[in-house]
Every structure is written in structure tokens, then in C-alpha cells.
Amino acid sequence: MSLVFKPEETFRGDYTYRNSDAAILRFPFPFPEDRYMYSVNIEPHVRSGPTDAFCRPFDIDEHYIAECRDRALTLEQDPGRCQVLPHMMTAQWDTLELLMENMAADYPEQFSLTKEGDVFGSRWTWINRPLGIEQQFIFGDPDTLPCEPFEYITRQAQGDFAICDQREDNLYLDAGMITSQADWSLEFNVGMNFMEWHGPVPLAHQAGVFERALKYLLMLRLGQPVRRLNWTMSINPRLDTSPESYPAWGPDRASVTVENAGGKVHLRVELQTLWRLPRSNAILFPIRCFLISIEELARVPKWGKRLHRVLSSLPPELAEYKGLTRYLPATLAWLAPLDDGAELATGTGPDITELAPV
């Protein structure tokens, strides 16, 4: 896969982030039907899917360099966005190994990993060409890296990462690199168990969704990762929409009008994968965030029409939970002229291979 990066784009300030035609067509659109339905939507994380974004264990795209730079800015302002409890060191090395091996295998033009062995004490060499990094280190010795292994490798990956320790028939959020989350706080949630972490979500608890999800995840097997999609919306292409930074992005919700909704309102989709880690038996939870403005998304006719229908059927309590209430009417008004009522095929793929010229 040949990658052309857009290193100068920004996710704050002047917001120069944009998606190329190829990035639009590979977007992981989350709605297979015309009405909203809450579901866990877990499936095996295999090397295929409705768009190219699903086809590699850890997706890297044209926004890679810019996203890594934005993460570094967020960590500089708030180092607490990366936290790891002391007992999670083995899980840190598990994560570093998993990401390095897969990034080097899937993107050999960009990354390489050379090992002199697979066990703790082996000498490894990691090369990250897009970020200009070459690092020799001893696998298992954190003193041979510039920072702890989990922070080291997740600074070089797109998306957020959490590690859940499994004990007492539950999962505990005991580590995280969280700089592009959809309005939740690692500082508040670190150490919580699975049910506490998901406590604020409306409707799902009454339906027993999280009880079933927890039972499923406790049985997750090594070498059999799974995935699901989660979604919300945000104003402007901002990665850092944490509670800690709310003063910087919260007021933007009041700036949306019918006229500017197409460029300001962004669908924010998380491709969430879950991996059993080999030595620690913990579960790695990568949360890969994709952003697309609704005017970009509407260049795929099926997606523009379906988004209008899904948002029209959204339960009010869920719209409130996702923070959409203030600008949802303007968004629907912008989308409405695009929806001719035509029947749409089920599934999330774009059903086209080329976008019409703008």
C-alpha cells in the first residue's frame, strides 16, 4: 500500500484537515440501515471489510504524520493523557510488540523491525521513516527507550489505545493513551471496571448490551481479534474533544447554521478493535478515530441520504448523550435536500468506486 502523507494539516486552530477522494471512499461509514439501532456490532477483525479502512490490523492513512504531531501537542499540554498503572509493564511490552510487528509487516516502506530474538533481553531495532525515528533497544528493558514502551509506540500510531487488565471476572481500564477521545476522560476513568466505565451510556444498560459484551470479551482468544464501530459527531475536525479541553471546543456547538453545517459538522467514527495480549493476558483496545465533514461524506450519495435518515430517527436521549442536540436541526436541514427518498442498499459500503468532481 503506497501512502502519501499530508503532514502540514491541523486539527486545531485554523483546522486545515481535509480528506482526499481516496480517504473519503475508504471511510468506515457506520450505518448499514436507514434507521438508527443501538447494537454492539462485534465481528472478527479480519483483513477485509466494506472499505479499505478495515483491511489491516492497525490502519495508517494520509493523516498519519499530522495526527502524531497533534498527539504530541496534546501530551505537551497535558501529560496525564497517557497513564499506566504500575502492574501493567508486561502488557506495555505486549502492546509494543504487537504494533511494531504489524506496522512493519503491513507498511514495509514506512517501518521496519529487526530482532535478534523474541524473548525479553533480545536486542531490537525499530525504524519509523515518516517520523524520522531509529531506535535500538533491549526488549523488556524500559531504560533502553526514551519513555515507557506503551507511550513510546502509541506516540507513533493513529488513534487512542487502552489496556484492560482481566481479573475478578471483569475488565479494568488500567492503562491508556487517550488524546482523541469523544468527550470522556482517562483521568476520571483509569482504574474503573468495564461496567463503571460504560455507566453513562443511555438505553444500552436497560437492554443488557454491556453485560453481554463483557461476557463475550472475557472469552476473547489470543490471535482472534474482534472489531466494532462507534460514532458521534463533532464541530470542526478536532481530535482532542476531551472534558479537560472543553473550553476550547464546547462553544463551537453554538456556531452551526444551516448554511455552514456542511463544512463544520463532522461525523466522527471510531474503529474499535480488541486484542488478547500474549504474556499479560490483558486486552488491548485500540480506538482509531476517523473524521469526515458531512459535505465530504455527502459526495457518496448513499451515505448522505442514509445519514439524514439515521439522524432523523435518533432517540432524543441518545442525541443528548452524544452532545448533538444544539446543532442536530441545522445538520438535518443541510442534509434534507440530498435525500430524494430513493431505496438504498443495505450495508455500509459506498457502492461507488469514484467520486463525482466537486
Give residue limits of the domains in the chain: 21-225+272-289
CA separation for the pair 217, 171 (Å, rounded): 9
Q: What is the pLDDT of residue 12?
A: 97
How crowded is residue 105: how many other Cβ atoms within 10 Å of its Cβ?
A: 13
Helix axes 328-335, 301-312, angle to 10 degrees: 140
* Amino acid (one-letter) located at 79: P
Chain-centre distance for alpha carbon 233: 13
CA separation for the pair 269, 163 (Å, rounded): 20
* Amino acid (one-letter) located at 68: C
How crowded is residue 268: how many other Cβ atoms within 10 Å of its Cβ?
A: 21
Beta strands (DSSP E) in 188-316 are 226-235, 265-276, 283-293
CA separation for the pair 130, 294 (Å, rounded): 30
Q: What is the pLDDT of residue 39?
A: 72
Q: What is the pLDDT of residue 239?
A: 97
Q: What is the pLDDT of residue 203?
A: 55
Handedness of CA 87, 92, 94, 95 (dihedral sign): positive
C-alpha to C-alpha distances, 287 to 14, 76, 102, 295, nearest whole angstrom = 25, 21, 16, 24
- Owner of C-alpha cell 473519503: 24
CA separation for the pair 4, 107 (Å, rounded): 12
Tell me how long the chain is: 358
Tell me the pTM: 0.95
Nearest partner of 290 among 54, 39, 38, judged by Cα:
54
CA separation for the pair 175, 191 (Å, rounded): 8
Q: Can you list the residues of the chain whose pLDDT is less than 70?
A: 1, 199-208
Whether residue 212 lies in the annotated active site: no
Query: For residue 273, what is its C-alpha cell?
Result: 478493535
- Owner of C-alpha cell 506495555: 92
Q: What is the pLDDT of residue 196?
A: 86
CA separation for the pair 132, 124 (Å, rounded): 17
CA separation for the pair 80, 67 (Å, rounded): 18
Of the residues 18, 228, 253, 309, only one is catalytic, namely 228
Q: What is the pLDDT of residue 208?
A: 65
The pLDDT tens digits of the residues spanning 233-283 come to 999 999 999 999 999 999 999 999 999 999 999 999 999 999 999 999 999
Nearest partner of 62 among 6, 116, 102, judged by Cα:
6
Chain-centre distance for alpha carbon 279: 25
Query: For residue 306, what is its C-alpha cell?
Result: 442514509
For residue 227, give every residue at least 6 positions away whose Cβ sits within 8 Å of its Cβ, in sequence order, or none: 42, 43, 44, 45, 54, 271, 272, 273, 274
Q: What is the pLDDT of residue 202?
A: 61
Q: What is the pLDDT of residue 199?
A: 66
- Owner of C-alpha cell 471546543: 249
Q: What is the pLDDT of residue 158?
A: 98
